[in-house]
Structure 1
Amino acid sequence: MGTNTTTDDVTIDTGAMLELGTGGTSGLIVSGQPIHNNGTLVVNHSDTVTLNQIIDGNGALVQAGVGETLITAADTYTGATSITGGTLALAGNGSIAASSGVHANSVFDLSATTNTAPSITALDGTGAIILGANTLNLTNANSGFGNVFSGVASGTGGLAVGAGTEILAGDNTYTGATTVNQGATLQLGNGGTGGRISTSSAIHNNGALVVDHSDAVALTQGIDGTGNLTQQGQGITTLSAANSYTGATTITAGTLALSGDGSIATSSGVHDNGVFDVSGSSSTTPSIAALE
């Protein structure tokens, strides 16, 4: 398929697939007209491709090549977005907020979008997310879509979970804030040794923050908000900041430890069904609101 020019809309019917490219540098639709995608649109290039037309419909988009696909329009398609190779990037006003979710098994680059808070419905995969200075918002993390992301999100931007449950199973390096909205859950770890955020990332928790590790995790940044904290894994979670969150603290397994200036004095209380270790606290009289 070469470079095709058309003044007509492009339509992909239900059950059909349109593949742009076969792994090389050719295979493109040059048109300002929309792509009505009710099937599957696949981009398979080795170079950079720009899709500046709106993609609508209930179909899926697949970034399959080793190249880069730039989305510069506010697309409204509602199917899944899969990144199996190369890079899918949002640039300018590019948006895929209506997509049912992103399977990010390669690179998802948000650094060039002019929207400082780009949103997607849900996220899973093993790839890389380049945030730049932007904060990625997950609007419904477990809406029948995968919700375990074991890749790495990087940049000076942050992550916000608006609804549902998102599990981070990789060791993320982004330094912006981590926000958990009311009614949402962010889980660090999935029972193993992966699943961290940078200690430079402040945690604003108005929902539920769950730590599920088999090893030792240190949360040296402060946790604020009205949300709850749960120590769920078999490992040890150590808090060394004067946290100000006001929700409940629950230990269902493993150990929650206070170290140095670590404090959970503003928490509404501790439900201790594991181990609550205050031996490393620099305070000889660490305080909690209640204990059961």
Structure 2
Amino acid sequence: MTMPFLPTRKLCPSKFRSARPAAFFAAITALFFVAAPYDARADMSIYETYVVITGGPSSSGQYYYEGKDNGGTNTPFANINQSINLLASPTLTLNGGQVKTSASSGDYQNSNNYEAMLWRFYSASGSAPSYTSNNLTFAASQPAYPNYLWESTGFNANLLTGVVSGSYKMDVYFSGNGSYFSGGQQYYTSSANTTAVQTANFSFYYGATGAGTQSSAFSGSGTFVKTGTGTYTLDRANTFTGGAYIDAGAVALTAANAATNGLIAIGQEASGGGDAKLVLNAANGTTFTNNILVRNTGGNRTIEFNGAGGVTNTIQGNITNNNGFQATNANGSLILNGVLSGSGGFEKVGSGTVFFSGSSSNSQSGTYTVNGGTLVLNKSANTAAIAGSLTIASGATLRTDAANQLNDRLVTVNGTFNLNDQAQSLALASTSGSAAITLGSATMTINNTGSDSFAGVISGTGGVTKTGAGAQTLSGVNTFTGKVQINQGTLSIAAESGLGGSVASLTADQLQFGGGTLAVTTGFTMSSNRGITLNSNGGTINVAASQTFGYGGVIAGAAGNNFTKTGSGQLTLSGVNTYSGKTIINGGAISIAADNALGTAPGLVVADQLTFGSGTLAITAGLTMSSNRGITLNSGGGTIDVASSQTLSYGGIIAGSGNGLTKAGSGILSLSGANTYTGTTTIGAGTLQSGAANIIADTSAVSITSGAVFDLNGNSLTI
């Protein structure tokens, strides 16, 4: 019985990564074919492109290989006459290729013009024996970097368990199923050297579709390469330094230094590659010192950590992420202590926890996504753990264990963001639904340049600070009890709960302004216990059209810290305000019933203490306004609206170049100062009363609407 002829199979170099030694791209010119075991003598025919063995072992359990040249132009064997005794710890020696001065059609050669060897082992019946204590020797007549592909289909798991040795540099590639070399790898510098172990020239390629497990250490400067969809486990402290390349499938590290301290590359360099995974499943507290490279390729790139019982593993090295990867697990935790760099994205999946730790900032510019479990940011304080946009999915958690980890990056919260008492600065993206931000005792700074809305709940004893030129809407029913500070841009609310939970007692600076704007989109009255303080650069309240925002608490602030009203809605101030800065009405109306609602009156005349820029001062009760509170009419002029049956008396100076004053409301406005504004005086309703001579400059026109009254009150006026 003979096995059917196996057609010649050439190995395409593009199947292997470009970073591998150039030697692999040599001629693949021999095919070693083993038939199913039966009692027959094996005859081998040698051709330039393949070797065929027909037949099988004798009854004594031996294979006999006798070389026979059938006219091929080059015979790549120096010593082919061998025997393998399956029962007596046999040794098989395979020789490398000879020099080819020129390649035949279809051949591949390495840079030294040496052929490579392709050895394939097959079992047609699928019941071939499992070799348990045999040795394999790779030999080469010259240091020409011959390559070997070892492929097995149908053999049992432990194909070769003896010592693998060889001379000169070589690369060994594996495909098929099984755990191949478990007896150790010994490579000698020359065929004459049989004592000194030399492993520096060894590269190990595993391309099986099934699982493989290491059972002896790898050493030297060679490379470990994983291809194929299977999983190979490195289960001990190895010392090889050429790095580990996971082109496809998975490599599991179950011991410290399993991949030594060399580079671990995940994914292929070229595009279109399949899934590649690094699995960390070592004992609790294991630290891997390797640098990791996530390469440009298709498919998913994954770091999986699955230690049971809360196991924590650490990657001490840096991760260069060029095309994105996932960190996934069912159990345990993973600490990334190095720098995460590159343009790829990071995704956390699974129920476990990943820590970004260390003392150096991450610089990965791609997206960061927490789709499951918890991502903990624990870099040194004020060290950026995030360098791109971050999304927290529903059901997932982001926690910060140190201050200032987010570096003002855009954060989308659909799950839970726990500041854990650590102050953070971020841009808070628009979200809706049941998202939650837990401050603890920390302050969250929202620093955005666009317009965003957060509908979730912010809780804790900490506070919120708004910076950046953008607008941030807080529409959730927040319960945090800390202070709100609006230093830049706009913080928009539709209810007092946008500013946090209720304030049980008067807190002077519960709402602080440092140059920003509070936008009120729906009318309501804010608790007087929520004290307002105007810090440097003052503050603005913008009330939307047709809305009224009422506040009866105290607005405080030093001189120079001004208060501005914008928006076409109305702001009603009923408290005894103590701020010393100016009041500027640039839109809508400020409604008051006492002079001190506009802050503390100046001790001396301040020309523009009350400034109009097309806004309105509405007077709801009779009062006399301090003459030291000078009025200036800017562009758009100003309106004073006095309620029915009420009188506003003012003896100070109203100034303004070309900008007019309008009297509205059915009440009385009594002016007694030597006003200097030059714009038109319009009496639209009620009465404008002269409390002294020449209250209107002779360059100002007067317009009186039907039904309105200009009462000179016995005083002269030249116009």
- Asked if these proteins are the same fold (TM beyond 0.5), I'd say yes
Separation in structure 2 between the aligned mates of residue 197 and residue 165 of structure 1, nearest angstrom: 17
- CA shift for structure 1 position 219: 5.0
Task: Give the partner amino acid of 1:257.
Answer: T
Q: How does 1:35-114 map to 2 (within 5 A)?
A: 35-52=340-357, 55-65=362-372, 67-73=373-379, 74-85=383-394, 86-91=396-401, 93=402, 95-98=404-407, 100-113=409-422
From the superposition, tell whether residues 29 and 130 of structure 1 become closer, same or farther in structure 2 (CA, over 3 Å): closer
Q: Which has the higher contact order (CA 8 A, sep 6+)?
A: 1
Separation in structure 2 between the aligned mates of residue 20 and residue 7 of structure 1, nearest angstrom: 17
Aligned counterpart for 1:271 among listed residues 560, 563, 585? 585
1:196 is aligned to 498
1:250 is aligned to 565
1:232 is aligned to 543
Runs (5+) with no aligned partner, structure 2: 1-276, 282-286, 296-320, 504-508, 599-608, 613-637, 639-719
Separation in structure 1 between the aligned mates of residue 336 and residue 389 of structure 2, nearest angstrom: 23
Separation in structure 1 between the aligned mates of residue 597 and residue 485 of structure 2, nearest angstrom: 26
Separation in structure 2 between the aligned mates of residue 9 and residue 94 of structure 1, nearest angstrom: 26
Runs (5+) with no aligned partner, structure 1: none
Task: Give the partner amino acid of 1:110.
Answer: L
Aligned with 2:461: secondary structure? coil
- CA shift for structure 1 position 264: 7.0
From the superposition, tell whether residues 31 and 197 of structure 1 become closer, same or farther in structure 2 (CA, over 3 Å): closer
Separation in structure 1 between the aligned mates of residue 366 and residue 292 of structure 2, nearest angstrom: 13
Separation in structure 2 between the aligned mates of residue 136 and residue 30 of structure 1, nearest angstrom: 25
Whether contact under 8 Å (2:565, 2:590) holds in the other structure is: no
Separation in structure 2 between the aligned mates of residue 215 and residue 174 of structure 1, nearest angstrom: 22
Task: Give the partner amino acid of 1:196.
Answer: G
- CA shift for structure 1 position 147: 3.5
Task: Give the partner amino acid of 1:45.
Answer: G
Aligned with 2:568: secondary structure? coil
- CA shift for structure 1 position 262: 5.0
Whether contact under 8 Å (2:334, 2:353) holds in the other structure is: no
- CA shift for structure 1 position 30: 5.4
The alignment's TM-score, normalised by the length of structure 1, stands at 0.78
Task: Give the partner amino acid of 1:247.
Answer: N
Whether contact under 8 Å (1:250, 1:272) holds in the other structure is: yes
Task: Give the partner amino acid of 2:409.
Answer: S
- CA shift for structure 1 position 26: 5.0
Aligned length: 272
1:173 is aligned to 479
* 1:119-159 Cα distance to aligned partner (Å, 9 max, x none): 33x11233221110111224x421xx663333222111112
Separation in structure 2 between the aligned mates of residue 106 and residue 250 of structure 1, nearest angstrom: 37
From the superposition, tell whether residues 275 and 40 of structure 1 become closer, same or farther in structure 2 (CA, over 3 Å): same
1:10 is aligned to 292
2:698 is aligned to none
Aligned with 2:499: secondary structure? coil
Matched, 1:135 2:443: yes
Separation in structure 2 between the aligned mates of residue 174 and residue 150 of structure 1, nearest angstrom: 14
2:625 is aligned to none
Aligned with 2:522: secondary structure? coil
Separation in structure 2 between the aligned mates of residue 216 and residue 125 of structure 1, nearest angstrom: 24
- CA shift for structure 1 position 44: 1.1
* 1:64-89 Cα distance to aligned partner (Å, 9 max, x none): 11x22222224444211111231100
Whether contact under 8 Å (1:71, 1:95) holds in the other structure is: no
Whether contact under 8 Å (1:81, 1:99) holds in the other structure is: no
Matched, 1:212 2:524: no
Separation in structure 2 between the aligned mates of residue 232 and residue 287 of structure 1, nearest angstrom: 18
Whether contact under 8 Å (1:15, 1:39) holds in the other structure is: yes
Separation in structure 1 between the aligned mates of residue 290 and residue 467 of structure 2, nearest angstrom: 38
- CA shift for structure 1 position 7: 2.5
Matched, 1:151 2:462: no
Task: Give the partner amino acid of 1:78.
Answer: A
From the superposition, tell whether residues 244 and 99 of structure 1 become closer, same or farther in structure 2 (CA, over 3 Å): closer
Separation in structure 2 between the aligned mates of residue 30 and residue 111 of structure 1, nearest angstrom: 18
Separation in structure 1 between the aligned mates of residue 489 and residue 521 of structure 2, nearest angstrom: 16
- CA shift for structure 1 position 118: 2.7
Separation in structure 2 between the aligned mates of residue 165 and residue 32 of structure 1, nearest angstrom: 34
- CA shift for structure 1 position 109: 0.7
Q: How does 1:114-129 map to 2 (within 5 A)?
A: 117-120=423-426, 122-126=427-431, 127-129=435-437
Separation in structure 2 between the aligned mates of residue 106 and residue 112 of structure 1, nearest angstrom: 18
- CA shift for structure 1 position 175: 1.6
Whether contact under 8 Å (1:178, 1:204) holds in the other structure is: yes
Q: Which has the larger radius of gyration?
A: 2
Task: Give the partner amino acid of 1:233.
Answer: A
**Runs in 1 of length 4+ with deviation above 6 angstroms?**
none
Whether contact under 8 Å (2:543, 2:549) holds in the other structure is: no
Task: Give the partner amino acid of 1:157.
Answer: G
Separation in structure 1 between the aligned mates of residue 549 and residue 577 of structure 2, nearest angstrom: 13
The alignment's TM-score, normalised by the length of structure 2, stands at 0.34
From the superposition, tell whether residues 134 and 30 of structure 1 become closer, same or farther in structure 2 (CA, over 3 Å): closer
